[in-house]
Structure 1
Amino acid sequence: MSHANRAILFDLDDTLFDHHRAMSAAIGAIHAAHGEGLPFEPFSLLHAELLEQIHLDTLAGRLSLEAARVERFRRLFAHFARPLGDSAAAEMGADYRRHLQANRYPIDGAAELLQALRAAGVAVAVVSNNLEQEQRDKLAHLGLDRLIDLLVTSERVGCAKPAPAIFQTALRELDVPAQAAVMVGDNWQADVAGAVTCGLKAAWLNRFGRRCPEPTLAYLPLDSLTPTDRLARRLISHGCANQLC
């Protein structure tokens, strides 16, 4: 096909890996064990906000993953007037990590979609704002490591999406021009806007029915990764041409 895309780039967390499911299970366990009397929804929502905020310090190398978890739970419980000491916060962070690891599952259709793309001869990469070993371990656990050609992380490149350099690194290592590639992700700013700014096509995985932030930006709208064969054909043949919010 003369206009077929030659590479499909995927975000990992909440695009191929169901981070929302794992996080919900883990914070639910923490609340059940330590949050007696605290309303769960505000507790869970604040935890998610703190996770996003403090993760930026991890990406920048200012905090390790373990230190980030300690800081996150210290701030979370301080907000509810239940201050934690260092040892209690560390124990809670380790407990959260155990529950998170025990609840790692792929998004429905992820493996089948990657298999279909690989069978069609399309290069597949994961481009992620996270630590290299963390994402390698995750891909291996999910059984997705054998279904991709390349992993590019913000830790390795030294910058995070939506910075052009991380997309450019993936394209260079795949030897594919931007106009022949599609970026698939759940984060509008990092994955969709970032990819389009860099000259790629983009597909927005919007599993939770969020409103489109930029109604004039072209993209391929997705609410799931299934049916996989049909989606693989759409990504390869059509990209985001003429698709609007």
Structure 2
Amino acid sequence: MYDNYIFDLYGTLADIHTNEKKASLWKNMAQYMCLQGAFYEPSRLRKDYGSHIAKLRTTPETEVDLAVVIRRLYTNRSITPAPEAIAHWAMIFRTLSLGYVRLFDGAAELLQELHRRGKKVYLLSNAQRLFTEPEIRSLGIYKLFDDIFLSSDIGFCKPSANFYTALLEKHGLNPDSCVMIGNDWQADAWGAHNCGIASMYIRTEQSPKEEGPLPSDCKRLDSLWDVLAG
């Protein structure tokens, strides 16, 4: 077995469904901002939200911090939001767009078993701190990680080597002692491979279409518990 187990979150440990395209979401968010003096039509709010993200994402591996986007939405209406207001906006947005988020069967028990065997367990996820940390806590697995790395904090997302390296360097990890477990053939399997890290790939409903082969150091899993046989 490996010494360090690095997990993806959404689609790997947790099943999730969101819909940021529904008209009711943008209608409610526009109404919420109007009550604070930041007047938007729903269609304009949705357009500006997407435009800010597109401008900030300078490369495919650049991660945009949603807090910056929210701040710009307010400042473009001559309002300077407090950090608490930004966090509140994000939580309302997530709540309205979220269908469900729930752990896959056995996910928490797997993390606990790895700890019982003396392994280090890390999270490396393309996600926004503003709403992902509360979700991790609500799922009851926050304390099951030795450290949590979210792309919005680092400024890069998988498969960027910068994201993987941030974890390796902070904890002084040898890539040979690590394995990445995820459901994305490119971001997780190839991203890890390009940093000298082996991987385990599990295909779920959230997995992108596999448009190429898995790397030679990647093991395909039938279930999460197969991690223990690696």
| Within-5 A mapping of 1:1-245 | 4-19=1-16, 22-23=17-18, 57=57, 59-61=63-65, 97-98=94-95, 100-101=97-98, 103-208=100-205, 212-215=210-213, 217-218=215-216, 219-225=218-224, 228=225, 231-234=226-229, 238=230
- CA-to-aligned-CA distance 1:48-100 (integer Å, 9 cap, x gap): xxx9xx69859324776769xxxxxxxxxxxxxxxxxxxxxxxxx99873355
Distance 2:24 2:202 in 1: 29
Equivalent residues of 2:200, 2:220 under 8 A apart: yes
Give the superposition deviation at 1:214.
2.8
Summarize the Cα distance change of 1:120–1:65 in structure 2 as closer, same or farther, 3 Å threshold: farther
1:158 positional shift = 2.0
1:103-142 Cα offsets, whole Å, 9 max, x none, are 2211222101111111111111110112223221111010
Q: Secondary structure at the match of 2:211?
A: coil
Query: Aligned in 2, Cα 1:134/1:100: closer, same or farther, shift over 3 Å?
Result: same
Structure (1/2) with the larger strand percentage = 2
Whole-angstrom CA distance in 1 between matches of 2:133 and 2:196:
27
Structure 1, unpaired ranges of 5+: 32-50, 68-92, 239-245
Q: TM-score, normalised by structure 1?
A: 0.62
Residues 187, 65 of structure 1: CA spacing in aligned structure 2 closer, same or farther, 3 A cutoff?
farther
Letter of the structure 1 residue corresponding to residue 64 of structure 2: A
**Per-residue deviation, 1:29:** 11
Residue 85 of structure 2 is matched in structure 1 by: none
**CA distance 1:149–1:129, change in 2 (3 Å):** same
Q: Hey, what's the Cα distance between the residues in 2 that align with 1:171 and 1:179? A: 11
In the superposition, relative to structure 1, how do residues 201 and 210 fare at CA in structure 2: closer, same or farther (>3 Å)?
same
Counterpart amino acid of residue 104 in structure 1: V
SS of residue paired to 2:168: helix
Amino acid at match of 1:213: E
Q: Per-residue CA shift, 1:6-55, capped at 9, x if unaligned? A: 10101111111212xx327x989969xxxxxxxxxxxxxxxxxxx9xx69
* Identity between Structure 1 and Structure 2 (%): 27
Instruction: Structure 2: give runs of 5+ residues left out of the alignment.
Output: 26-49, 72-89
Shift of 1:101: 4.9
Contact 1:8 1:181 in 2 (8 A): yes
Cα distance in structure 2, aligned partners of 1:132 and 1:62: 9
Tell me: CA distance 1:193–1:202, structure 2 relative to 1, closer, same or farther (3 Å).
same
Q: Is the 8 A contact 2:185 2:214 kept in 1?
A: no
The alignment partner of 1:116 has SS state of helix
Say which SS state the counterpart of residue 5 (structure 1) adopts.
coil
CA RMSD of aligned residues (A): 3.7
Q: 1:224 and 1:29 mapped to 2: Cα distance?
A: 37
Distance 1:108 1:10 in 2: 15
CA displacement at 1:159 relative to structure 2: 1.3
**Gap change, CA 1:101 and 1:180, over 3 Å in 2:** same
